Structure formats: C-alpha cells, structure tokens
Structure 1
Amino acid sequence: MHLFVNDAFALEPVAVRQVGDIWAQLCEEAVLAAKSDIALTRAMNAAILYHGSFAAALTHRLALKLADHDLDVDELTVAITQVFLSDPAILTAAAADLLAIKERDPSNAEILTPFLYFKGFLALQGQRVGHWLWHHDRLHFARHLQSRISEVLGIDIHPAARMGKGIMLDHGSGLVIGETAVVEDDVSILQNVTLGGTGKESGDRHPKVRHGVLIGAGAKILGNIEIGEGAKIGAGSVVVRSVAPYTSVVGVPARPVGHAAPGSALPGVSMQQTLDEPDYVI
C-alpha cells in the first residue's frame, strides 16, 4: 500500500498532477466539513483524512460500500488495490468523473459529496474495477461486483461495457448498461436510462454512445446503434435507430427535432437540455 502515497506509480506527469489536485481538494473539503459540523469529524477522518492518497481513499470507499458476507472489506480492499496498481489510469478517469460532476451538476459545487455519496459516481468506479477483472479472467469476481453494485446502488452496468472518462451518471437510479455498450468521454446520463439490446440478437448488440452526448431521464436506447458525437436524447424517448452527430431526438419512436453545427458546445458537458424549438425540453 505504500505505493499509494502519492498515486504516482505508472502515471504520466499530467495525470499525476490531476489526481494530486483532486486529492488535495478532497482533503481540504473534508477538513472544512468536519470544522463546520463536529459530528462529521469521525466520518471525514475515516473516509478521507486517515488515508494517504486518492487511490487509498477510493479503495476504502468502494470496499466499504460493496462488502457483504461473501466478500468482506479486507478482501475487497486487496482486490481493488491490485486493480489500481495494475491500471492506474482508472484513477485518472475517476478524477475526471468527479470534476465532471462538480462542473455540470447545479446542485453540487464540490467533489466531496459525490465522492462520498453519489450513487452514479460510486457505481461507475466499481464498474471500472469489474471491467479490469473481467478482462483478466476473473469473471465471477466481476459478476459479483456487478451484482453488489446493482443491489446497493440500484445501477446495473455490465463489467464488459466500455466506459470513458469525464462521465456523469446523474442520480443513476434505474440505469442499465449492457455488455457490449460503449460510452465515450464527457457523456452525461440521467436516471432510468437503458442502453440495451433488442432482445433478439447476440454478439455486439448494444448502443455506442459517442463523445459529449446527453441522454435525458428515462430514455431507452436499444440495439447496436450509434449515438453520434454531441447528440441529445430527449427524456422518455425510445431510440432504435442511429442518431447523427449534433442531432437532438425525442419521442416514441425517437425522431430528429433539432440540429447543431459540428463543433458546437457538447451537450454532455454544457447540460443544455433545451432546444431551439420552444415546444421541446429534454
């Protein structure tokens, strides 16, 4: 565990600074929280301040959340530590996810709260651990984590799904992402979204969500289709055909209702949920 002191193992210098900055900010916010409410002192110490690094604190948080009678905190701590040591880029992705939440969620202006409490953030980091396990022939361990994340956090992401960084799973409740799905960088997804199959295919059968997409609450995106860069999917929409880049779709079945110029602000980052057409708000 001494390698976790500064999270510098096998990371590029820029990534080391990013993770280090996140850790410093997290500690500062934990100290302020404890000072503002003495009842939180023990909690802030146990969750953040007693740890030597972002990696160690994240390991502890995930292990504590996902432990059960089959795999206890110590066993999960060993496994998660191994994953972070083997693929420290997971830490960079986690740091990017925290920044994404801080920048995009109007109800939250810090990184401490999502780190400790946001289901979407915690489920995504657990899935990243499961993804590593899945690709290193530890399928049953990965399945166990998927099951625990679903039971504890109400979010079901298959460990084989490929998730980018800078992702915000807002609220997260009821989110389902299938085995062959891809979610690229800077995507924001609201609650009760399904990235699923059509129920009649095998193999590569789930959506590919490209850079900067925004998916509204309750949307169902089904099949091996592509949601192009910068697209918006309206709340409650059912999408069964590919969506062109920078296109907004709504409805059942979804149909295009707006277009933006390529290179426009990415809706997954801006969280701009309105359209130029005044009749539509996703």
Structure 2
Amino acid sequence: MATCIDTSRVEPKQTHEPDRSNPDHHGCKYVEYCRPSFCDLVSRVPLCQNHQKPKLVDEGEGGGDIWLAMVEEAKIDVKQEPILSNYYYNSILSHKSLESALASHLSSKLSSSILPSTTLVDLFASVLAEDGEIIEAVKKDLEAARERDPACVSYVHCFLNFKGFLACQAHRIAHKLWSQGRKSLALLIQNRVSKVFAVDIHPGAKIGRGILFDHATGVVIGETAVIGDDVSILHNVTLGGTGKESGDRHPKIGDGVLIGAGACVLGNLKIGDGARIGAGSVVLKAVPPRATAVGNPARLIGGKGNPIKLDKLPGFTMDHTSHIHEWSDYVI
C-alpha cells in the first residue's frame, strides 16, 4: 500500500479522527492516497522501448507464490499508472487470496441486470473453497500464459485482461457444478461466458491444467470433449461432433498438444500426446503422438505410414511453422 504514496508530497494534517467504526475506512484511505491528481494522469515512470517481462518476486526453482507475485505486480502497475488505483484495489489489492480475487473478478465480468454480482461472487467463492484442485489449475494456467504467450507481461495482466484465461476458469467452476448435478446453473454460466467472452465451452467438457487459450475468440468445445494438461489452443478452434448423435461424440486431446487458429477437430477421436494441428485444418481421424496434421481434410506430415515425429512438445514451444519446409518450397 505504501508504494501508492507519492513521498514528494506532504500529507495534510488531519482535522478530525477517522471513523474507525466504518469498515470501509481502510479502503477509502487507499483510494485517497492513490487517486491521481491532474499532474499524475501522465505517468512519471519512463517507458522502455525494449519492453521485457519483469522478473517476479519469489521466482526461482520450483516457482514461487503466484498470488504474492500478483500483488507486487499490481502495486507496481498502480505506481506507474495511478489512474488504475481503484480498479486494481477492487480486483487485486483488497483481497487476501487468489480464490477471493478470482471469485470477485469473474462475478463482475459475468454479472447482468438479472444476475447480480453479489449472487455470483458467493457462488464462485463457495465452489473455489470446496474444491482446492481448481485453484491449483488456475495457477498452472497463469504460468502457461506467462511462459508461452509473448504478449503476456505479468501474471496480473493475464488475470485481469486475458479472456481466454477467464473463460477457462469460469468453465472450471461450471464443470464442478455440472458434476454435482446442478446443470441448469452450470449452463447459465456457460451462456454468460459465451456472451461476454465469445468462448463457448460446454460445462460437461473436461479440461486439464496448464491450459492456454490464446486470444480465444470463437473457441467452441463440446460436451464430451476431454483436454489434457499443458495444451495450447488458439482462436476459432472447434472441438465438435460430426452430426446429431448423442453420447461420447467429441475429441480427446492429449497432453502437450498445440491446435492452430481456425482448426476443427470433429468426432470422438484421439489427438495423441505432443501432436500438432496446423491452422485451418479439419481433422476427422486420430492423430498419433508427436505427429503434425495439416490441411482439409488433414493429413500427416511424412505420411500415414511413417509420420515425422516432433522432438519437442508443441504445446510448450508454440511452434506453428517448422513443418512447412517438409512439404512446400513455395517462397513469398
């Protein structure tokens, strides 16, 4: 909190004692110190032309406490841009845990005139408190965004602004409700997520940890789809069925898979661990582990009999193009 105070100013003397009976006094003092004056509207912190991701506190082997890192990042952002002080206080700095902040932030995003945020925040907080595995998955998703997306400059940047991340966490809550038989409520959350974030994930779908929905607009994932750990999926990807049949009808995506923008994977088929699906591809058959499938309909690079195997997990490398020289000599 002290990072928000401009030490070049002299704090005026108080002419009266603060109302300590008011529970909001602490928050009001924060806003009083952090609300910018006219001269603060332009940040006095010089911008670096070669902007790089900042090194976070408590980072090291085995990682650190992501929540503490987010709090420190938020303080730095507020110091650089005081105009954001109220937003950061309500979203991050007024909370004592990642669970509390996530429940509050999601509820503010997904609320409507007939579905108030006060109702949603209690629901989300209760689900997160009940299932500790969800918050562990949330941390892995934050790490995935920061490690794989060059546009992600900090954990707090992802938490506040990445709609793919937020849609995934809302789905985790909806899936928990779905598994408890609270299907109407789960479907309502799906509908709000689809409308607000343009990401449509059926609450019955199962999603692992370390997921990156990069940009995320137009992502559609069906009811019986399963996504493994450390998967990266770009915008306009569909994991869908092939008709009106019921039952188990959607794709099963292995660990470490990369699915490029605009790809469609249709039917109850398996995409093997570490496989890569090229942008715009339409996949109608199973893809072996560490193979690359491209085209419409998709074909394996190297052929079905002896597909070329990737030596690194594309879900981590985010490599979309290294296969091109294998099949094309076209040069722009």
Q: How many residues align?
A: 262
In structure 1, runs of 5+ residues without a counterpart are: 1-17
The TM-score, its normalising length taken from structure 1, stands at: 0.90
Question: Within 2, Cα distance between the matches of 1:276 and 1:90?
Answer: 36
Cα–Cα, structure 1 residues 216 and 237, in superposed 2: closer, same or farther, change >3 Å? same
Percent of aligned positions that are identical: 48
Question: Within 1, Cα distance between the matches of 2:181 and 2:264?
Answer: 31
Cross-structure match for 1:4? none
What is the aligned counterpart of 2:149 among 105, 122, 134? 105
SS at match of 1:200: coil
Cross-structure match for 1:183? 227
Cross-structure match for 2:6? none
Does 1:266 pair with 2:313?
A: yes
Question: Within 1, Cα distance between the matches of 2:167 and 2:185?
Answer: 15
Displacement of 1:274 in angstroms is 1.9
Q: Is the 8 A contact 1:103 1:109 kept in 2?
A: no
Displacement of 1:19 in angstroms is 9.9
Moved over 3 A (4+): 258-262
Cross-structure match for 1:160? 204
Displacement of 1:183 in angstroms is 0.5
SS at match of 1:189: strand
Displacement of 1:66 in angstroms is 0.7
CA RMSD of aligned residues (A): 1.5
In structure 2, runs of 5+ residues without a counterpart are: 1-61
Displacement of 1:78 in angstroms is 1.0
What is the aligned counterpart of 1:250 among 267, 275, 294? 294
What is the aligned counterpart of 1:237 among 275, 281, 291? 281
Q: Is the 8 A contact 2:291 2:309 kept in 1?
A: no
Cross-structure match for 1:173? 217
> Which aligned pairs between 1:62-141 and structure 2 lie closer than 5 A?
62-141=106-185
Deviations 1:168-214 (A, max 9, x none): 00000000000000001000000000000001321000000000000
Does 1:58 pair with 2:105?
A: no
Question: Within 2, Cα distance between the matches of 1:108 and 1:205?
Answer: 34
Question: Within 2, Cα distance between the matches of 1:20 and 1:229?
Answer: 28
Displacement of 1:238 in angstroms is 0.4
Question: Within 1, Cα distance between the matches of 2:314 and 2:105?
Answer: 30
AA at the equivalent of 1:71: L
Deviations 1:148-173 (A, max 9, x none): 00000000000010000100000000
Deviations 1:238-261 (A, max 9, x none): 001010000001000000015554
Deviations 1:128-155 (A, max 9, x none): 0000000111111101000000000000
Higher relative contact order (CA 8 A, sep 6+): 1
Deviations 1:38-93 (A, max 9, x none): 10111111110000111100010111111112321111111111111111110000
